[in-house]
A and B are shown apart, each in its own frame.
Chain A
Amino acid sequence: MSEAAGRQPHFVAPLDQTPLEAVDRLDEAAPPTSLWAEAWHKLRRQPLFIVSAILVVFIAVVVAFPQWFSSISPMVQDGENCRLANSLAGPTSGHIFGYDKQGCDVFAQVVYGARPSFLVGVLTVAFTLIVGGALGAIAGYYGRWLDALVSRVSEIFYAVPLVLAAIVLLSGFRAQGGVGVFGVVLVLGAFGWPQMARITRGAVLAVRSADFVTAATALGVSRGRILIRHVLPNAAAAMIVTATVSLGTYIVAEATLSFLGVGLPRTLHSWGMQIGDAKNWLAQAPEVLFYPAAALAVTVLAFIMLGDAVRDALDPKVRG
């Protein structure tokens, strides 16, 4: 490049050497695309996104229709499904993952264990999006004493470690056999919303003083309408990325709680519980621990990768 530039008599680089080439080639007749349309356009050709999206869809199908993948339902603990004679036996035809200590089919348990883990993750994220998102948006947009109040309250909840708070709250319900999916979601959501509130507040603060908001105010649009129609859609990118990545965190948190025996009731048999049971027989049958742990890791990984891909697509700095 330097060689070519040195020979040329003028100081302006030729068009094919300028980094602005893409700008000059812009098709001005094309309809304008929104941030979302552009992101979708980029995502469609990103292998990371395609792989993680297929994984997430696959896991969602397993969650919705476990009976399509396993003819054995581990929820029915009768002699048909669990035979002590099969205790820790290796894989056989029709039972490809082998059996656990109780002689139950591991494959069926892994398939059916997806539902509670996935549900807790999705519902907790929905909870944090609604509560944390709303409080963060109000704090960032209206400011003043509302901002101070929401910020202080979120700091209080943020200062208490999530898993620790959940253990304290849930341990009391051990005697009753756990609290069910909604109980765990409420507890995780109650201590998980400050993170979402912080992100939303920051994003709203960044957008609040933008020219289009001033323009909307000048046109006489009400404050509530500006928040919902103009500010929130532009803050949504940061919220969605946080939601996707934290989904994995909540699935791991649920597994940790179930593993400690304070999470979901035993009848739901989530992955964390299966791992907790299998750890006692690690020396005799390590594969019984491996399968639920691998399923958990793949699920979390899928959401982390999805979040990474979406963040790259929405980040204006890497717009290609």
Chain B
Amino acid sequence: MGWYVGRRLLQAIPVFLGATFLLYLMVFLMPGDPVAGLCGDRGCAPAVASALRSQYHLDQPFLVQYLLYVKGLLTGDFGTAYSGRAISEVIATAYPVTVKLALLALAIEAVFGIVAGLIAGLRRGGVFDGTVLVVSLLVIAVPTFVMGFVAQFVIGVKLAWLPTTVGGNQTFTALLMPAFVLAGVSLAYVLRLTRTAVAENASADYVRTATAKGLTRRRVVVVHILRNSLIPVITFIGADLGVLMGGAIVTEGIFAVPGVGNTLYQAILKGEGPTVVSLVTILVIVFIITNLLVDVLYALLDPRIRYV
């Protein structure tokens, strides 16, 4: 196992370097002059502009810019945004909010998805099963931003049950609606995954044996059916954390959550190259680490899988 984790971490290094290079290249290719917007309507004086360019290494060729950036990264320095704010400070304010939102969404998709999937899988073909299947298909088919607006309008404005936007007030109640919208599609997938696995395991030989031994229905369902059905579900949920954090850009925009997605979108619109690359780089790290953890978890949960 230790060897496996070590090898995977080594493999993650080229992926990490490649992804940052790709992102840096994309941002570099973006048209527009990042310095142009810094001095107001009248534009910068040529001397100021060239001083700013050399300060941010914009006068260097692409490869030099990239290597300087990576050199900073390796020493823990994310650089400075064009606004003069340290990027590490931007990260420190934006990330906690998004992590909170994504973890809440993850909890929602795990609890609701597994419970509804278990019930649907045990009563396959019933009314609950049918309803849940149709609803989950609809949730997958309707884009997140539509769901976000409708939820905001109906629950926030019309019924006034929950706050319409989050803003500076990042309480549990304020984050509840964005978290539900963010979790929506994944919730539907978790539900369908659990349902299929439960329905498959419910007719397995070991379940019949457990029932024949005289175990209570409750014990058969929880210990024998659910535990074995959760293996694919847990790997999906684990890998979803990175996806949720990256996908929060739309949800955070709708509900005015001051997290990574919103900060990132603003930075993209302003052409803030270094900020964009740094924010996404951390997303990529989260993505790589969660995927590694999920693979390790898989081996721990499923005794048939052994990594050497």
Contacts and interface: CB of A to CB of B under 8 A. Distances in A.
Contact of B288 (A159, A289, A297, A305): A159
Given A163-B247, A172-B29, A172-B30, 15 more contacts: A152-B14, A159-B16, A159-B284, A161-B247, A165-B26, A168-B276, A173-B31, A255-B143, A256-B144, A282-B153, A289-B149, A300-B140, A301-B137, A301-B138, A305-B137
Interface in B234-276: 243, 246-247, 249-250, 253, 264-265, 268-269, 271, 276
A12 to B, nearest CB: 21
Given A157-B22, A168-B30, A172-B31, A259 B246 contact: no
Nearest to B270: A171
B157 interface: yes
Interface string B1-28: 0000000000100111011001100110
Contact of B143 (A252, A283, A305): A252
B76 interface: no
Contact of A161 (B144, B253, B283): B283
A159 B287 contact: yes
A168 B27 contact: yes
Contacts of A282: 149, 153
A268 B104 CA distance: 38
B268 A163 contact: no
Contact of A167 (B29, B265, B288): B265
Given A156-B19, A156-B22, A283-B153, A248 B250 contact: no
Say what secondary structure dominates the interface of chain B.
Answer: helix
B142 A297 contact: yes
Contacts of B146: 275, 289, 293, 296-297
Contacts of B150: 289
A151 B187 CA distance: 29
Nearest to A298: B141
What are the 5 closest A-B residue pairs judged by CB atoms, nearest first? Answer: A161-B246, A156-B18, A172-B30, A301-B141, A300-B141
Given A171-B30, A282-B153, A297 B141 contact: yes
Interface string A161-204: 10111011101110100000000000000000000000000000
A260 B148 CA distance: 14
A127 to B, nearest CB: 18
Interface residues of A, number: 39
Contacts of A168: 23, 26-27, 30, 268, 276, 280
Contacts of A297: 138, 141-143, 146
A160 B23 contact: yes
Nearest to A262: B268
A255 B11 CA distance: 35
Contacts of A152: 11, 14-15, 18
Contacts of A315: none
Given A283-B153, A304-B140, A171 B269 contact: yes
A289 B30 CA distance: 32
Contacts of B46: none
B249 A160 contact: no
A224 to B, nearest CB: 29
Contacts of B250: 163, 256, 259-260
A83 interface: no
Contacts of B206: none
Interface in A256-277: 256, 259-260, 272, 275
